[in-house]
Structure 1
């Protein structure tokens, strides 16, 4: 079986590469995770993308309920590993009724390489059955964020760091780095930083319909972002956001 992990950008059908369109059209099965009624929009966007790429032999759409992490497991890494095991089994259960399928595709937000577990889950599948794994890269949210704000990702001849809200809360701002890109932050961890001489560029639903942007000195923009984020999540039932922090000189 060929399993294609297809990066689809941030939910905008125009983000698809020609390679992604070809992979979707070639698939016998497209797996669609369902994450509950409050996130139905995410599944619907995948269906919309699939329909827009449909060729003569349109792929069968196969949905499966997306498992959630077990909050009873105290260690974070153990909790995530167990969660990945359950997701891998959900994939196998979803495609089991279609033994004739030779090409299976899963549409992945952004790119499978960055803060995404899809590749690790696919490795688990490969231990169970022969698997030809194919990865189609996609636009990452940090690329769309900087494009939306029309800013460069890094300063001239300087590095940047991509991290998570959890790491920012637990470890603070890393030494020797002036530019941070923070993902997977449901806690608005920037509120725990000293805002002096720090600027923020924030975006929610970047590249999608309903994109929200804000930027400015962290002391001024931070409170606005916290309030805007809460309203947006309440209205849509879910939120995907990302932000860039940069220290001044």
Structure 2
């Protein structure tokens, strides 16, 4: 039997791990480290997180993440990609833990929020899956800017850059948080009356922040984001947009 522990780790700062996460990592028989060709630094960050909190020698194994196809419909491409990732997990676990045991997989932020680790794990029957929650990028964003997430007595809508670009500002929303935005979808909005709080590499040494009226901060963010991506080869960012009246 394989016990698969999905551990939320925030965004790379060992101080963001909960006491439970540290305990589970130290009790594991194997730690999996996903590796992407264009973001080797992310695998290194996971390894450094482990090195900072492990008090015993736990084997760590890096594996290459499959690449998502750009052909066909978006949802089917994602499903096929998840199938391939599940196969990569299974083959890596079988090769390094053939007699069963506890496997830990480090997940950016928290596995519950715009992350498909749980959906991928569901493709692997026979595994006992459990979650250790972590700090989300949304929490890190609001903490970095020292702002509340929600307006007074108001609601918050969490969406993606793809949906914002395709459908515009969500009807009835006063505050939205945008994740997984590969291309600054906020530039498609009419900026008047909107305020943005943006953060990249939250909790990491290279953290970058900006905020202000969208008409003023938007162009700065576009330029900063392009420069950071060129320098680091990858970027993870998130932003909150709020109508000025809220």
TM-score range, shorter-chain basis? over 0.9
The 3-state SS of whatever aligns with 1:46 is helix
The 3-state SS of whatever aligns with 1:234 is helix
Q: Say if 2:43 is the partner of 1:43.
A: yes
CA contact (8 A) 1:205 1:241 kept: yes
Corresponding residue for residue 229 of structure 1: 225
Corresponding residue for residue 241 of structure 1: 237
User: How is 1:129-140 mapped onto 2 (pairs within 5 angstroms)?
Assistant: 130-140=126-136
> Deviation at 1:101?
3.8
State the alpha-carbon separation in 2 of the partners of residues 55 and 221 from structure 1.
Answer: 44
Corresponding residue for residue 16 of structure 1: 17
Q: Say if 2:85 is the partner of 1:109.
A: no
- CA deviation string 1:155-208 (max 9, x = no partner): 111001000000001111112111010001011100000001100000000111
> Deviation at 1:100?
2.5
> Deviation at 1:53?
2.0
Corresponding residue for residue 80 of structure 1: 78
Normalization by structure 1: what TM-score? 0.96
- CA deviation string 1:65-113 (max 9, x = no partner): 00011112x2111000000000000001111122124000100000000
Corresponding residue for residue 146 of structure 1: 142
Corresponding residue for residue 95 of structure 1: 93
The 3-state SS of whatever aligns with 1:174 is coil
CA contact (8 A) 1:34 1:43 kept: yes
> Deviation at 1:55?
2.4
CA contact (8 A) 2:14 2:53 kept: no
Query: How well do the aligned residues superpose, as a CA RMSD in angstroms?
Result: 0.8
Q: Which runs of 5+ in 1 are unaligned?
A: none
Match 1:197 to one of 178, 183, 193: 193
State the alpha-carbon separation in 2 of the partners of residues 204 and 174 from structure 1.
Answer: 23
Count of aligned residue pairs for this structure pair: 243
Q: Which runs of 5+ in 2 are unaligned?
A: none
Q: Which runs of structure 1 show a deviation greater than 3 angstroms over 4 or more consecutive aligned residues?
A: none
